Amino acid sequence: MKQHTQSQLLIWQPLRRADCSACILHKEAKTVCNLGDGPVPCDGAVLGEAPGFNEDQHGIPFCGKTGVFLRRMLKDIGLDPRKLFFFNTVACRPPANRQPKAKEIKACSPFLFAQLERVKPKAVLVLGNAALRAVTGKKGAITKAEGSIVRKDGVAYVPCRHPSSVVRLENEDSYLFVLQTFKENLVIFRNILYPKKDRLYAVPEDAQERLPKC
Ligand code: SF4
C-alpha cells in the first residue's frame, strides 16, 4: 500500500486538523481531514471531489481503483503521476460516496485553498462539477466546460469529467468515445505543463484491456 513520505507528513502537520468537525462529513469518515499527496511545491495538481472508500481507509487521495485508472491515463499521455499533486475538494469521505454539498465544500475550503497556496501549481486538472465550482466559481455540468481553460489568480484550471464516471462506462458502447474526450482534457493539462510535448494523441486499441483489475 502507498504511504505518505515523512516529508509529506511534516508539510501537512501544521495544516491538518484530524479533529475537524466544521461540517457533518467528519462523522462517518475514518480519516478526517485527508489532505493531498505528492510533491510540494508542484507545477501540476489534480483536484478531485472527495475521498472514496479506499482513500478514507488509507488516508491518501486517489489510491483506489479510480486513482489507478487516472494514473495510467496520465502516463499514457506522457505525464508522470509521481510529479503531480493529488488532492480533493472536501477532505472527508461523504457517506456512500455521495456528492459533497455546497455547505460542506464551503466549510472545507480553507483546507483546499491552504493546500493550493503551499503547492503553488501552474495548472490544475479539475475533476467534476463540485471541484470546478469550488476553485473557479463556475456552476453547471463539467462536460459543458471541458475543452476550455479557466485562468484565475495566475493558475490555469482545466475542467475534466471525473475519472470514476469513465471507469463506470468500461462495458458500454460509449466507453471509447468518453475515454477519448477524457484524455483530450489530460492532454490540455499536459500541454500547459510541457508546451513542447504538443503531439497528437490517439486512444490505443487495447484501452479497455488496460483498465485496472482491482
Ligand atoms: Fe472538516 Fe473538511 Fe472534514 Fe468537513 S470535510 S469535517 S470541513 S476536514
DSSP string, 56-109: HHHT-TT-SHHHHHHHHHHHHTT--GGGEEEEESSSSPPGGGPPPPHHHHHHHH
Contacts of 176 (CB under 8 A, 6+ apart): 203, 207, 208
Ligand 1 pocket test, candidate residues 20, 49, 105, most atoms within 8 A of CB: 20
Q: Which atom of ligand 1 is nearest to the CA of 32?
A: 3
Q: What angle do CA 39, 80, 88 make, to 5 degrees?
A: 55
Average pLDDT rounded to a whole number, residues 15-34: 96
pTM of the model: 0.88
Report the separation in Å between the CA atom of 85 and the middle of ligand 1, taken as the mean of its atom positions: 20
**Reported confidence tier of residue 14, pLDDT bands at 50, 70, 90:** confident
User: Which residue is it, cell 479557466?
Assistant: 150
Instruction: Give the pLDDT of residue 210.
Output: 39
**Reported confidence tier of residue 212, pLDDT bands at 50, 70, 90:** very low
Query: Which residues line the pocket of ligand 1, CB cutoff 6 A?
Result: 20-23, 25-26, 32-33, 90-92, 104, 107-108, 111
Over residues 169-181, the pLDDT tens digits come to 877 888 999 999 9
Coil, strand or helix at 167:
helix
Which residue has the CA at smallest separation from atom 7 of ligand 1? 108
Element (H, E) at 48: strand 44-48
Over residues 64-80, the pLDDT tens digits come to 999 999 999 999 999 99
Report the separation in Å between the CA atom of 70 and the middle of ligand 1, taken as the mean of its atom positions: 24
Give the Cα separation of 16 and 192 in Å (integer): 30
Q: Say yes or no to pLDDT of 214 above 60.
A: no
Report the separation in Å between the CA atom of 105 and the middle of ligand 1, taken as the mean of its atom positions: 8
Report the separation in Å between the CA atom of 25 and the middle of ligand 1, taken as the mean of its atom positions: 6
